[in-house]
Amino acid sequence: MKDTPFAQFPDMSKADDSQSIREQVAFFANYLKPHKKLFFFAVFCSMLYGAAGGAALPLCVQYVFKNIFETSPTVYSTWQIIGIASILPGIFIFIAVFGFLGAYLMTVLGLRVSVNIKQDLFEKLQTMSLSFFSKKSTGDMLTRIHIDAGKMQFAILEVAGECIRQPIQALFALSVLIYYSIENSEIAFILLFFAGIPFMLLPVRLIAKKLRHRGMQIQESTSNMTQQMTENFGALVEVRAFGMEKAQSEAFHKTNKEVALYTLKQKKYERIQQPASELIISTVVAASFVYCYKKGVGFDVFFVLGIALFKLFDPIKRVMKMISFYNQNEPSIYRVQEILNIEPDIRDEPHAKPIERVTGNIDFNNVTFAYDADPVLKGINIHVPAEKVCALVGPSGAGKSTFANLIPRFYDPIDGAITLDGHNIKDVTLKSLRENMAIVSQSPVLFNDTITSNIRHGKPGSSDEEVIQAAKMAYAHDFIEALPHGYDTLAGERGGHLSGGQRQRIALARAFLKNAPILILDEATSALDSESEHYIQLAIKELTRGKTVIIIAHRLSTIKQADMICVFDQGRIVDTGKHSELIESSNLYKMLCQRQSLE
């Protein structure tokens, strides 16, 4: 399945750097608010780390070791010398402790933010309509939640941590450099530093767009690879039955190589930056060496100022590396924000109010609907009375399923209105609307959980006795009791541990438990063995009593007793009536019956 790109997604090759950074800062700041104490403590530790790293070593050399070797007339004992010598490892212990604390706290912070982002992504996807998922692949959604959100976590850990520690280190090192340059009348060191900065920034500027572009290609290819795996694992029988193993392997190999190629190209640009930065740093230090030699500057001054220069350029190099890391992962950040910023097309209107239990009168008033450009339903007008069974029949693609999906607002019509007990369904909250409806599809999905939990989805919080009673009404209790662990048996992924008839009866039990006044059935007996069909027909007869029922009929024999039958053709309802009436008056209905030898 090829993904349809979102209109909101930016062209990464033309992204405005300053605007992009502001947006990302605002995005992360919103997630950091609940953890601001932890964040500020992590910043404090990082600042101490940066301050010690930038100033402690040059000051130690200048005021401790130089004094001991050159200017102090005092003769120190062995223990005094050991104590003085301990200052150096003490400095590094201080740096290590606060470096560790800063990094560890950033890790904790990053994980917390990552958990919240993934949760928000998942919850946002729960609000999206079916049309959204018809245009986006499962693999792409999995990649965004698992991989893209994970990369955002590393962006927080690495970029935020380094961009706090290193500037502080650079600031203290710059202070030392300026102080000693002025004290020794060697302003050239300051000029050398500022002259080297543009050259440090140059590699980042040159490769930033390349890294973004390759990052987007990697994420798109990874999404495709995830989708291939999802489809393959979901179609194991078909793949083996049609001998598709080789073709599937070749397709996966192509995508796998594509991911590797784009990753290699990204790494190529990434690896260029570090040696380029190190070359610039070494050139500046070499230039300072030449200058000191020609000017007759003493080694002690050269050494202190050289360390200060290195301590200045090293954090800049690290920050540049983090900027490159950010550029690599910026596409992932955009892909996550893209989902979070989308407004669901099916949502509660501002004025929507909850609706109580309805009687079940459904009206379609001149309803037109289209998935894309061509209408699937055209000017539908129909009244379905409460507590009646309305069957939908017609050729494949005539609009039956679409009609049924509009009632719970899985989609919204592009024209016209649907009312429930006289209320426009857009004027009521989605939660209360759907609480009044139960749906049993032709291929019901069960979750990889216990049978009890799968039935209880119909009425969360229901007791075990209510679950068992619903199973009995669906003629499912006996086979459930015969399972290895009874009601605690796992249904398996998509109910794979159960037969088709068993899955249908579990789904019917769920509907019994919900006991909603409106029931939508996508013919639950098609493609089942006769025994399963018998039990399911008995269950459906009981389930539909006293409810408004919309049934999409595949086997017309199941709807002969329906109160009304709507005959669909090319997006319109061309005939309505009972079976006995339509068999005489509707040529299309009569033809459909003849195909199934039903007169």
Q: Which tens digits make up the pLDDT trace of 69-86?
A: 665 566 667 787 777 777
Rounded to an integer, the average pLDDT of 155-181 is 71
In angstroms, what CA-CA distances link 425 with 239, 324, 367, 375, 407? 43, 50, 13, 21, 8
By mean pLDDT, which of 64-68, 174-178, 328-332 is the weakest? 64-68
Give the number of C-alpha atoms closer than 13 A to the C-alpha of residue 461, restricted to the C-beta side.
0
Whether the per-residue pLDDT at 583 is higher than 80: the answer is yes
DSSP letter at 423 equals E
55 pLDDT band (50/70/90 cuts)? low
237 pLDDT band (50/70/90 cuts)? low
Whether the per-residue pLDDT at 524 is higher than 90: the answer is no
Average pLDDT of the chain, as a whole number: 79
- Give the model's pLDDT for residue 98: 82
| Contact indicator for 454, 491 with CB cutoff of 8 Å | yes
Whether the per-residue pLDDT at 495 is higher than 70: the answer is yes
Query: How buried is residue 187: exposed, middle or buried, by Cβ count under 10 Å (0-12/13-18/19+)?
Result: exposed
Whether the per-residue pLDDT at 406 is higher than 80: the answer is yes
Q: What are phi and psi of 377, to 5 degrees?
A: -120, 140
131-160 per-residue burial string, b: 16 or more CB within 10 A, e: under 16: ebeeebbebbbbbbbebbbebbbebbbbbb
- Give the model's pLDDT for residue 154: 67
* Interacting residues of 154 by C-beta distance below 8 A, sequence separation 6+: 110, 325, 329
Q: Which tens digits make up the pLDDT trace of 244-255?
A: 788 888 888 888
- Give the model's pLDDT for residue 63: 61
Whether the per-residue pLDDT at 274 is higher than 70: the answer is no
98-112, 194-208, 401-415, 498-512: which has the highest mean pLDDT?
401-415
| Residue 423: other Cβ atoms inside 10 A | 15
Give the number of C-alpha atoms closer than 13 A to the C-alpha of residue 514, restricted to the C-beta side.
25
156 pLDDT band (50/70/90 cuts)? low
597 pLDDT band (50/70/90 cuts)? low
The better pLDDT of the pair 513, 169 is held by: 513
Three-state secondary-structure class, residue 377: strand
Rounded to an integer, the average pLDDT of 61-66 is 62
In angstroms, what CA-CA distances link 319 with 154, 185, 205, 314, 395? 15, 30, 13, 9, 64
- Give the model's pLDDT for residue 6: 46
pTM over 0.85: no
- Give the model's pLDDT for residue 12: 45
- Give the model's pLDDT for residue 529: 59
Amino acid, res. 410: F
Q: Which tens digits make up the pLDDT trace of 190-227?
A: 777 777 777 767 766 677 677 777 777 777 888 788 88
Percent of the chain with pLDDT over 70: 82
Select from 259, 483, 490, 526 the least CA-distant residue to 396.
526
Which pairing describes strands 375-384 and 415-420: parallel, antiparallel, or unpaired?
unpaired
The CA distance from 463 to 515, in Å, is 15
Rounded to an integer, the average pLDDT of 373-393 is 91
Q: Which tens digits make up the pLDDT trace of 41-51?
A: 887 887 777 77
Q: In order of start, what are the domains of the chain with their CATH numbers?
A: 12-340 (1.20.1560.10)
| Contact indicator for 49, 358 with CB cutoff of 8 Å | no
By mean pLDDT, which of 99-103, 494-498, 533-537, 572-576 is the weakest? 533-537
